Amino acid sequence: MSKPSVKERVMEAASRLFYFAGYNQTGINQIIEEAKVAKASMYQHFRSKEDIAVAYLQERHEMWMGKLLDFVASEKKGKAQIIKSFDYLVDWLNEVGFRGCGFQNIITDLPKDQHKIKDVVVYHKDELSKWIDEMLEIEGDYNKKQRQQLNEEILVLIEGAIMLSQIKNADYPIYAAQRACECLLKNTR
């Protein structure tokens, strides 16, 4: 039971602070203080604050997708898991006090030159999109064009649900998104 490594301690503190306080609100000094790490030690593991953010988002992606897949595993693969994924959002966002999506939140107020961060965000949403497509493909009801359109629509619902629940500090937008999703999946066009 030894002490976590410097890298781990930095990641823990940075993840918590970046997510709950915000990227710009979180200073390097705060991170190293909470991680109980010397500043230069931190910079031996991460070249810059931006790099910490990238690592944070990558870790967050793994964690978030993992939890999502676990959560929906009780349902049959396909539409059912997609519908169930909104229940995941409800659980998650209630737990974090509707703090919203770590990926959305970080790109909205970013120094103009920090492209690496934006890239991970796009990657995360693309991966989520891939999973949705998988679920739709398993269903077998749709051709490729239909799948793509549905996929886009569902992703919009997810993004909107997370964002609006953050603004309103409530979970009703997530349920609304779920209802909308059910409607979209029921009515072939």
Partner DNA sequence: CATGAATGAGGCTTCATTCAT
Partner DNA sequence: CATGAATGAAGCCTCATTCAT
* From 5, 25, 48, 94, residue interacting with a copy of itself (rule: CB under 8 A): 25
CB of 11 to DNA, least distance (A): 12
Classify 160 as helix, strand or coil: helix
The answer to whether the CB of 43 falls within 8 A of the CB of 31 is no
The answer to whether the CB of 62 falls within 8 A of the CB of 102 is no
**In the stretch 105-144, what mask flags binding to a copy of itself with x, by CB under 8 A?**
xxxxxxxx--------xx--x-------------------
Which span sits near a copy of itself by CB under 8 A: 45-53, 70-78, 130-138, 170-178? Answer: 170-178
The answer to whether the CB of 82 falls within 8 A of the CB of 178 is no
Helices (H), the chain: 6-20, 28-35, 39-45, 49-72, 79-95, 102-107, 115-139, 144-168, 172-186
CB of 2 to a copy of itself, least distance (A): 23
Q: Interface residues with DNA (CB under 7 A)? A: 5-7, 26-30, 37-41, 43-45, 47-50
Contacts of 28 (CB under 8 A, 6+ apart): 39, 42, 49
Q: Is 28 in the site for a copy of itself (CB under 8 A)?
A: no
* From 100, 127, 138, 171, residue interacting with a copy of itself (rule: CB under 8 A): 100
Whichever of 4 and 47 has its CB closer to a copy of itself, that residue is 47
Q: Is 78 in the site for a copy of itself (CB under 8 A)?
A: no
- The site that binds a copy of itself (CB under 8 A) totals a number of residues, namely 45
The answer to whether the CB of 16 falls within 8 A of the CB of 56 is no
Whichever of 95 and 113 has its CB closer to DNA, that residue is 113
Classify 64 as helix, strand or coil: helix
Residue 74: C-alpha distances to residues 99, 117, 148, 181 (Å) = 26, 33, 25, 19
Q: Kindly list the residues in this chain that would bind a copy of itself in the complex (CB under 8 A).
A: 21-25, 100, 103-112, 121-122, 125, 149, 152-153, 155-161, 163-164, 166-168, 172-173, 176-177, 179-180, 183-184, 186-187, 189
